[in-house]
Amino acid sequence: MPISRLTVLFLLVSSLVLGACSNNYQRLLKSTDVNKKYEAAIAYYEKGDFFRAGTLLEDLIPLLKGRPEAEKAQFYFANTNYKQRNYVLSTFYFKQFVDTYPNSDYAEEASFLNSKSLFLDSPGFELDQTNTVSALEAIQDFLNRYPESKFRPETERMSQELQKKLESKAFESARLYFQLRYNQAAVVALTNFQQQYPASAFAEQAAYLRLNAQYAWAKESIESKQRERYLEAIAFYQQFIDGFPQSKNLKSAQDMFDTSQAELVRLKSLPAAASN
């Protein structure tokens, strides 16, 4: 299909314009005119060219110290990193901004974007959650500083999402002990989970797995330890059926209860033995 003269002309003009813009940007990078460079950086920022704006602002910030433009330059520079999804850097620069200009008109938004950068950098629940904890701490600090902020609803939503992530991490970690048949560790971890997240969406699973782990632990124990561990399994069974009377795992739980009762009867009939 032949290319029209109009298309050729358009491509030629576009190429010339892009080349001119590129040449102008390169000249700005080399320029020692702080005012001209600052004006260009702000213009790039307002056009949404955050890469060029950020590059120029990074050069300018040390040169603007003591000048009124420094505050805006530092906030914009932090935001260019955020807009380019460089969340580790945006977290650092937004926090630095708030520490440097705590009374700035930009301080509230910078504090919020610091929290949001940490939120967006938080990994999936299956990975280490250090960043998630840091994000929650930053969010709480923001809510304490700005209780009436327009960003409060979004900040609370982020907090809830991060809390669910920690909840999932805690449950999966506890369940892993059960899957690996580390039954004593599973009982401890699942008990801690229930105490920390009593209203969790995983509450029923946690209660059932705790019963299962306790029953398995009692079963594999030496006879001198079995009585107290079967009694604990029976207690866990009672808590499970009281809390989840419609659970699909009721029959399995009942079987563990019946076996535990039978084992207690058997153990009672044995001659007294020295404790181990």
Q: Which two tokens stand for residue 7?
A: 């298309």
Output the pTM of the full model. 0.81
Q: What's the confidence (pLDDT) of residue 1?
A: 47
Average of pLDDT values for 119-137? 95
Q: Which two tokens stand for residue 166?
A: 């920690």
Average of pLDDT values for 247-267? 97
Spell out the residues 6+ positions from residue 117 whose beta carbon is closer than 8 angstroms to its own: 82, 87, 88, 90, 91, 94
CA distance 3 to 146: 59
Tokens 């999966």 belong to 172
- Enumerate domains of the chain plus CATH numbers: 27-83 (no CATH), 85-170 (1.25.40.10), 180-271 (1.20.58)
Share of the chain above pLDDT 70, in %: 90
Residue 120, amino acid: L
Q: Which two tokens stand for residue 80?
A: 């260019």
Q: What's the confidence (pLDDT) of residue 92?
A: 98
CA distance 275 to 270: 13
Q: How confident is the model at residue 21 (pLDDT cuts 50, 70, 90)?
A: low
Residues 168-201 have pLDDT tens digits of 999 999 999 999 999 999 999 999 999 999 999 9
Dihedral pair phi/psi, residue 45, rounded to 5°:
-60, -50
Q: What's the confidence (pLDDT) of residue 67?
A: 95
Q: What's the confidence (pLDDT) of residue 32?
A: 80
Average of pLDDT values for 60-67? 94
178 dihedral zone (left: phi>0; alpha: psi -120 to 50; beta): alpha
Q: How confident is the model at residue 85 (pLDDT cuts 50, 70, 90)?
A: very high
Query: To the nearest whole number, what is the mean pLDDT of the chain?
Result: 92
